[in-house]
Amino acid sequence: MKKKQTELLRYLSGQSHPIKSTELANALQISSRSVKNYVSDINFLYNKKIILSSRQGYQLNHQLSYHLLLDENEEKLPQTGEERAFYIIKSLILGHTPQLDLFDLCDYLCISYSTLKTVITKMNKSFSAYHVSFICKNDCLKIIGSEKDKRRLISYIISEESQNRFIDMQQLEECFRESIPVRELRDIILSLFRKHNYYLNDFAALNLLLQLCIIIDRNINGNVLNHMETNLPEITKAESLLVQELLEQLEIRFPIHLNASEQQEIYMLFKVNANSSVPTSREDLKKYVTDKLLTLTDYYVEQVNNHYLVNLSDERFTTAFTLHLENLLLRAQTGNYTKNPMAESIKLNNPLIYDIAIYIGLDLMERFHILIPEDEIAFLAIHIGAELERQNTTRSKIRTALLCPDYRTLSNELLNKLLLNFGNWLDIICSVCDEAELKEQSFSLLLTTIPLKKAWECDVILLSPFNLNAQYDIIYEAITKKQDHDKNERLKKNFHTFFEADLFETNAEFSHRDDILHCLCQKLLQKDYVNQDFENNVMKRETAATTAFGNVAIPHSADMDAVKTSIAVAISRKGFQWGSNTVHIVFLLAINKADKQAFRDLYESLISLFTDATMIQEIRSCENFSDFEHLIYSHIGISE
């Protein structure tokens, strides 16, 4: 939200009657037209009538907790180039505005016009790998790019603002230190899952720990559930034994009594997090919540996707979120709200995620005529942030489907064994009994225990449901093959983003490491891809430990401090003297942290390519950039 918009909200919050636009314009030192635009923008931003308008003037809608918006916007002014870039991107994409006035930006950011133009120039270089561009025309700024690429960029910004970690053990310990020994509770959970030989990945373990902390803390403070149906979800005997033992240990260790409703909630949490790569069926969820509530969750998923470009459609999220909404609405009806010890931390460290939670909270308040305090808003943010973190942790895994007829729990047992042994590489997004159920799913690897009726456009592995240990090599080979193929595809996709002819040097006369590094650093500096201290930082890193291995060197700065991610290349038939090595190929890496994941994939692809002695010999013969590009493509088996 813009500075003047926040000032408008604050001014109206101190008034008990409607205020004319002329009075608002004088008070805020803006035009009456700007007042109307700001009112429209605020109401559009949250899709709610935050500010009411009538012939008498403008007035805050006191049925909504508009103070949440004011608290949200108590944020520091962006100071660094990155903070300014993030603000501009969020204003353009999440503000759903086609353009921003450059002079308004200068006014809000408290910077000069020339400084703003410098920020925009660097943005075009820093975010080039996202295939978006920032164009200035007629004193306005626009973002050009596809919807998909804008979503990728927003996803990166959310991740950076959350410092790549929405919640961790240290935060949980700080938040619940007065009531719960968090590490002891974690050990109870992990030991039980190990005892019962049940899969629980790192993310699911942390998420389950968080939810149990909330339940225990709430129970200790006298807030208990007493409204839910007591029919437990359908689970196997093995699952029931695990959950029952968990319930018993919780009541032994903590001064709590878990009634039937709370036991049901823990059963559902188990279903959501155990084997967390497989979502709980929507049909199962219908047994515990109304169709109206399911429809409301679907509505929020759609609105958040449209408004914030964030996809929350995964059943793992919708199941837990719908259950939370049911509990929240019942707490609101009784006024028995839950204190959230992480509320301030979430507001401060996760502004975009908290903004999404406010958006949903405002709608709930207007829709059900209830009050939702900040503590409860923060709980909504926890669910959203946890889902985004889950997406980050599974992004590098192979999306996999399992097809196995469910005979005497055979399917569930096979799934659990696969997750226990291959969960670090496979994101098993569904486990189905009938091939027809696969048509609605998106996956790149299919594991099946029965012959298929149709051809699928993905890698397929036919497994026996028995004696899985004897088939590990087959599965590992398929995983490795798929990973190599995906890396090569990413190399092809990003080749011209990171490599270019102007940064290519072949058969240079230089013979020493320092000379060739100076030459390549100057090439990067001339294109404004790096700052003046880049060469010094590269030499510091090289002095600390050589980056040469065999005939290849991959020097780089210790920091991801480049303006634009790029790779400068030098090739020599004679070779460069590099410490005790003779190096024929140099890849000088300049990395901007916005590209760290894409760059990591590219780096791994290059390493695997140049461990091949034949490849080294062939690349020494390259006369120009075109030869180099053709050689790379031919070795990864992808046509140009």
- Asked if 297 and 306 count as a contact pair (C-beta separation under 8 A), the reply is no
Q: How confident is the model at residue 537, as a pLDDT?
A: 92
Q: What DSSP character marks residue 545?
A: S
- Asked if 550 and 581 count as a contact pair (C-beta separation under 8 A), the reply is yes
Q: How confident is the model at residue 226, as a pLDDT?
A: 63
Q: What DSSP character marks residue 19?
A: B
- Asked if 270 and 421 count as a contact pair (C-beta separation under 8 A), the reply is no
Helix 102-109 to helix 81-93 angle (10° resolution) is 130
Q: Write out the two tokens for 494.
A: 């990003």
Block residue for tokens 């596809």: 146
All domains of the chain in start order, with CATH: 3-72 (1.10.10.10), 81-156 (1.10.10.10), 169-271+279-385 (no CATH), 398-477 (3.40.50.10850), 499-635 (3.40.930.10)
528 residue type, one letter: D
The DSSP string of 413-451 is HHHHHHHHHHTTTEEEEEEESSGGGGGG---SEEEESS-
Write 253-257 long-range contacts (CB < 8 A, 24+): 253/184, 253/185, 253/188, 254/180, 254/216, 254/219, 254/220, 255/220, 256/216, 256/219, 256/220, 257/219
Say what the alpha-carbon torsion angle 500, 505, 506, 510 is, to the nearest 10 degrees: -170
Q: How confident is the model at residue 235, as a pLDDT?
A: 63
Residue 476's contacts (CB-CB under 8 Å, 6 or more residues apart) are: none
Q: How many residues make up the chain in this entry?
A: 640
Predicted structure pTM score: 0.61
Q: How confident is the model at residue 277, as a pLDDT?
A: 47
CB contact burial 196-229 (16+ within 10 A = b; e otherwise): bebbbbebbbbbbbbbbbbbbbbbeeeebbeebe
Q: How confident is the model at residue 230, as a pLDDT?
A: 44
**Mean pLDDT of residues grouped by 10 in the chain (640 residues)?**
75 84 88 86 72 88 61 65 90 82 89 93 91 94 88 79 65 79 93 82 78 83 61 66 93 90 82 58 72 94 88 87 86 74 77 86 89 87 87 83 78 85 88 87 92 90 88 92 84 86 85 91 95 93 84 87 92 87 90 81 76 82 90 72
- Asked if 505 and 523 count as a contact pair (C-beta separation under 8 A), the reply is yes
Sheet holding 548-549, edge to edge: 504-506, 561-578, 581-592, 552-553, 548-549
At 558-610, the pLDDT tens digits run 888 899 999 999 998 888 888 888 889 999 999 998 887 777 777 777 777 77
Query: Which residues are registered as beta bridge partners of 506?
Result: 571
Q: What DSSP character marks residue 468?
A: G
